[in-house]
Amino acid sequence: MKLKKNIATSESGFIFNPATGDSYSANPVGSDIILLMKDNKSIAEIKKNITSKYDVDDSQFDKDYDDLLAQLRDNNLLEH
Amino acid sequence: MAKLKYERPVIKKLNAGLMNKFGTRTEFEPVKHIDGVAVKSLIEKYGSPVFVISERQMRRNYQNAVRSFKTRYPKVQFAWSYKTNYINAVCNVFHQEGSWGEVVSGFEYNKALRNGVPGNKIIFNGPDKSEQDLRDAIKNDSLIHIDHFDELYSLISLCETINAKPRVAIRVNMDTGIYPMWDRFGFNYENGSAWNAIQKIIGSGKLRLVGLHSHIGTFMLAPSAYSVAASKLCDLMWHCKNQHNLQLQYIDLGGGFPSQNTLKGSYLPGTDTVPSIDEFAEAITTTILNFGFKTEELPLLILETGRALIDDAGYLLGSVLANKRLADGRRATIMDFGVNIMFTSFWYDHKISPAQDFTHHTEDQVVYGPLCMNIDCIRESVSLPLLNRGDHVVVHKVGAYNMTQWMQFIAMRPNVVMIDMEQTPHLIRRAEKLDDIVSLEEMPAYLKKIDLK
Ligand SMILES: Cc1ncc(COP(=O)(O)O)c(C=O)c1O
């Protein structure tokens, strides 16, 4: 699952889609994941990174990661 | 190195400057304590969900309401509306403060007697008083508020068989400029049936007419409606005096003052729109004082205020069971409490606060209860901080009607706790158990045995 190429992201969680002009804000966990996605990290790498930085177990992460993808998809921020 | 506090990842679209349909966000602070007692410890000790009532807030509300009226009018009496919340400990806080009891059924009547309310300080309202109820009320010298002609005639014939002359009032309904008009209770003022009932009572010689009652509606937002009601009751009282030389003792204006909850569909929160008790007191008392009674003939003013005295003293503490996304992308949070114990979520957009720290990120969401029913929706759309499974929430202003209209559906009704003036919690109604429910059931012998092996 990849972010669309032209999506702009910032460390502070700001996301901008130049194709539509829509902007979004992400919370810190969301923003970390999106930056890792933008760096083309694998799911395993993203998971390792987040679960070591934040107080969350693997199964909670899996569920929430899927949920974040659904949010990105709903907002047309993912490659088809 | 300690790990950072985790929060579910979310993104939120920024629509600069636009009010969205989820309204403005109001949940700015976590509510970790109620009257100094930690929400966490209450849930640990009493389970989740649990109702919590603040005795301090109840007494404060009562004393404020009494002050509003007594600083404007010499003779005022409150009567606690049992149906609003008839847990005995709740009733007794108000009785300790000086409130009489107002009941609408034999069940409530006996509850009030058992709480130690003297019979002559109980007002018996409602369309459904059995013959036994009437006999008890007569024996105890309670104030019987007659609702309809059938009741009036049966009371008269009852009094022909026993040697008693009970104290009665009639309930009057009327046009106060608020629609829909509540005309199904009592006798109508405009069409003359109230006056007709009064003549029947006086003519019978069997009953002592001592007062007039009205309850014009509930969650009334217009103090002016009470001016109209008060002046119509004063008018009837005046006629009793002039035409029958009968001096009535009291006017009872019922309940109906709003609490500060937000009615569904209103744009602004209740805290910004609801008139204060002072405004109602001003409207009512100036009407009576200006009506033209002599000072010694001024009626006792009785009020049966319910929700305005208890709503904001009640909280429901609960926990998040799950988060979901709906097919249309909306976020849904499932709580461990549903409309079975929060009947008022059909009327109000109840404020919900998280009970632990959260970040400034919020999500627009639907809040559901745990019942397997589509109607089990606590908030259709609310902006809340991100809640995780197991997080606790506090629902505000649930003290009125929920603990009487709750349903035993699928699950047991939870514990109810009162926090006293010294910040000590007391269990005032324990959670139901399976045995409580099944002890009411009977199994026909031929159904006792089942064999599914
Ligand atoms: C006769 C009567 N009195 C008092 C009340 C209390 O009303 P509220 O809670 O609106 O003050 C009610 C409620 O329906 C009522 O029917």
Q: Cα–Cα distance between A50 and B3 in angstroms, integer?
A: 10
- What pLDDT was estimated at residue B182? 84
pLDDT at residue B181 is higher than 90: no
More confident residue, B142 or B359: B142
Atom of ligand 1 at shortest range from CA of B171: 1
B353-401 per-position pLDDT tens digit: 999 988 878 888 999 999 988 889 999 999 999 898 999 999 999 999 9
- What pLDDT was estimated at residue B328? 85
B258-278 per-position pLDDT tens digit: 999 998 877 677 777 799 999
* For range B412-423, the mean pLDDT: 97
B55-311 has the same fold as B33-52+313-433: no
Residue B408's nearest CA partner among B343, B318, B321 is B343
The protein residue whose alpha carbon is closest to atom 9 in ligand 1 is B306
Average of per-residue pLDDT values in chain A: 90
Confidence of residue B18 (pLDDT cuts 50, 70, 90): very low
The ranges assigned to domains in chain A are 8-74
- What pLDDT was estimated at residue B16? 53
Q: Is B191 exposed, middle or buried (0-12, 13-18, 19+ CB in 10 A)?
A: exposed
Confidence of residue B418 (pLDDT cuts 50, 70, 90): very high
User: Is ipTM beyond 0.90?
Assistant: yes
Tell me the pTM: 0.87
Contacts of B386 in chain A (CB under 8 A): 27
Note down pLDDT in tens along chain A; length 80 residues.
788 888 888 888 888 888 888 888 899 999 999 999 998 999 999 999 999 999 999 999 999 999 999 899 888 899 87
Smallest Cα distance from A63 to chain B, Å: 10
Pocket test for ligand 1, best of B58, B77, B81 (most atoms within 8 A of CB): B81
CB contact under 8 A, A67 and B5: no
CB contact under 8 A, B12 and A29: no
The answer to whether the bond into B74 is cis (omega within 30° of 0) is: no
| CATH architecture, range B33-52+313-433 | Beta Barrel (2.40)
Handedness of CA A13, A18, A20, A21 (dihedral sign): positive
CB contact under 8 A, B325 and A67: yes
User: How many percent of chain B have pLDDT more than 70?
Assistant: 97
B189-222 per-position pLDDT tens digit: 999 999 999 999 999 999 999 999 999 998 999 9
pLDDT at residue B19 is higher than 50: no
Contact with chain A for residue B421, Cβ under 8 A: no
Contact predicate B90/B428, CB 8 Å? yes
Smallest Cα distance from B396 to chain A, Å: 27
- What pLDDT was estimated at residue B28? 67
Find where tokens 């009487």 sit.
Answer: B404
**Measured in angstroms, how far is the CA atom of residue B255 from the centroid of ligand 1?**
4
Q: Is B292 exposed, middle or buried (0-12, 13-18, 19+ CB in 10 A)?
A: exposed
* For range B108-123, the mean pLDDT: 98
CB contact under 8 A, B13 and A23: yes
B51-102 per-position pLDDT tens digit: 999 999 999 999 999 999 999 999 999 999 999 999 999 999 999 999 999 9
CB contact under 8 A, A65 and B11: no
Contact with chain A for residue B265, Cβ under 8 A: no
Picking from A25, A34, A60, the nearest residue to B14 by CB comes out as A25
The ranges assigned to domains in chain B are 33-52+313-433, 55-311
Ligand 1 pocket at CB < 6 A? B 81, 83-84, 102, 125, 215, 218, 254-257, 304-308, 400
Confidence of residue B125 (pLDDT cuts 50, 70, 90): very high
pLDDT at residue B21 is higher than 70: no
CB contact under 8 A, A27 and B3: no
Atom of ligand 1 at shortest range from CA of B309: 11
What is the bridge-based pairing of β-strands B143-146 and B167-173?
parallel
Contact predicate B283/B223, CB 8 Å? yes
B282-304 per-position pLDDT tens digit: 999 999 999 999 999 999 999 99
B220-240 per-position pLDDT tens digit: 999 999 999 999 999 999 999
Tell me the CATH number for domain B55-311: 3.20.20.10
Contacts of B12 in chain A (CB under 8 A): 24-26
Q: Phi and psi of B309, rounded to 5°?
A: -95, -20
**Measured in angstroms, how far is the CA atom of residue B171 from the centroid of ligand 1?**
13
The protein residue whose alpha carbon is closest to atom 12 in ligand 1 is B255
Interface of B with A in 174-203 (CB under 8 A): none
Picking from B11, B361, B386, the nearest residue to A72 by CB comes out as B11
pLDDT at residue B25 is higher than 70: no
